[in-house]
Structure 1
Amino acid sequence: MSFFTCDICDANEDKLASGELRALPPIFTKFGRQQKFFGPAVTLKVFEENALVRSKLESPGNGQVLVIDGGGSFRCALVGGNLASLAQQNGWAGIIVNGCVRDTEELNACNIGIRALASFPVRSAKRASGEQDVRISIAGVAIKPGDWIYADADGVLAASENLLK
């Protein structure tokens, strides 16, 4: 299905005003071959470790978007080439990381959409700590499990319902 985030915003000004539609700040760098992706959100809250990220991406994605609140850390990467490949194999539509990624050449070879704050070569710890399926906040924008995520060249949106019906 084709969409443009600008058109979604224009058609839903009432939802922008009410907070049912929220635009994330323009803080993300694009990775992956899919420049445009959308789907229901699956949320994780982790800090400088990615065992839960791997666990989630090993499961069927069914066209969902994994939204990871990594606390905005620039000290390690939460997603790399192996995890992006897993996401592609398991049918995830995209990944949004409030933190860093690595293996950018591998990420850019995957047929998946990825947004992250930056790339950084240091890998994360593997402690299996964190929370899943919880309300998170990225740069002051709330995202809860089941929200619909829309990402394209103009930005990233989160909506309380599917706006492409």
Structure 2
Amino acid sequence: MTPRTTDLCDDHGDLARVVEEQFHDFGGNVAFHGKVSTLLAFEDNSKVREALMEAGDGRVLVVDAGGSLRRAMLGDQLAEMAVKNGWSGLVIFGSVRDSAAIAALPLGVKAIGTSPRKTEKLGQGLRNVVVRLGGTDIHPGDWLYADEDGIVVSASPLT
């Protein structure tokens, strides 16, 4: 069970870094957590596919898509792949598409909006780099906790 972000903030103070950007819930699981894998890509989800093809082992993929709402970084096919390969969830500073289908999946998905347009497929993006979302640096290997109240990140697991 995912610890509540409010409890993590109360119990751990500054060790629980809060992502201040407002995200919307799109996945069937509103609360999710896991070790972080990061990706920096703009309007090209080739590296998202590459990451989600790997065994997720309960990880969370954090995608800094530059806040773009012009092209969706995740659709139903990639979300289904994430479920099949054991990912806990995705946090996307950008948009998703096929939101009704994604909502039916047992996957946590937070993004800032939706777009019906797919991305380019140019193979661009950087994996496992530090990304900055909502004033918070997120490192590969950090732990992320998400629920209805927000997103909390820490360098080590919090309970």
TM-score normalised according to structure 2 size: 0.97
Decide whether aligned partners of structure 1 residues 64 and 2 sit closer, same or farther in structure 2, where only a CA change above 3 A counts: closer
Look up the match of 1:12: 12
Paired with 1:119 and 1:22, the residues of 2 have a C-alpha distance of 26
Deviations 1:54-92, CA, capped at 9 Å, x for gaps: 010011000000000001111110000001000000000
Paired with 1:151 and 1:73, the residues of 2 have a C-alpha distance of 21
1:124 aligns with 2:119: yes
User: Partner of 1:111: helix, strand, or coil?
Assistant: coil
Paired with 1:132 and 1:2, the residues of 2 have a C-alpha distance of 25
Look up the match of 1:43: 38
1:29 aligns with 2:24: yes
Choose the corresponding residue for 1:52, options 47, 52, 57. Answer: 47
1:108 aligns with 2:130: no
Residues 152-163 of structure 1 aligned to structure 2 (within 5 Å): 152-163=147-158
Give the RMSD, CA atoms, in angstroms. 0.9
- Structure 2 unaligned runs (5+)? none
User: Partner of 1:87: helix, strand, or coil?
Assistant: helix
Choose the corresponding residue for 2:85, options 86, 90, 96. Answer: 90
Look up the match of 1:3: 3
Aligned residues: 159
Paired with 1:83 and 1:66, the residues of 2 have a C-alpha distance of 12
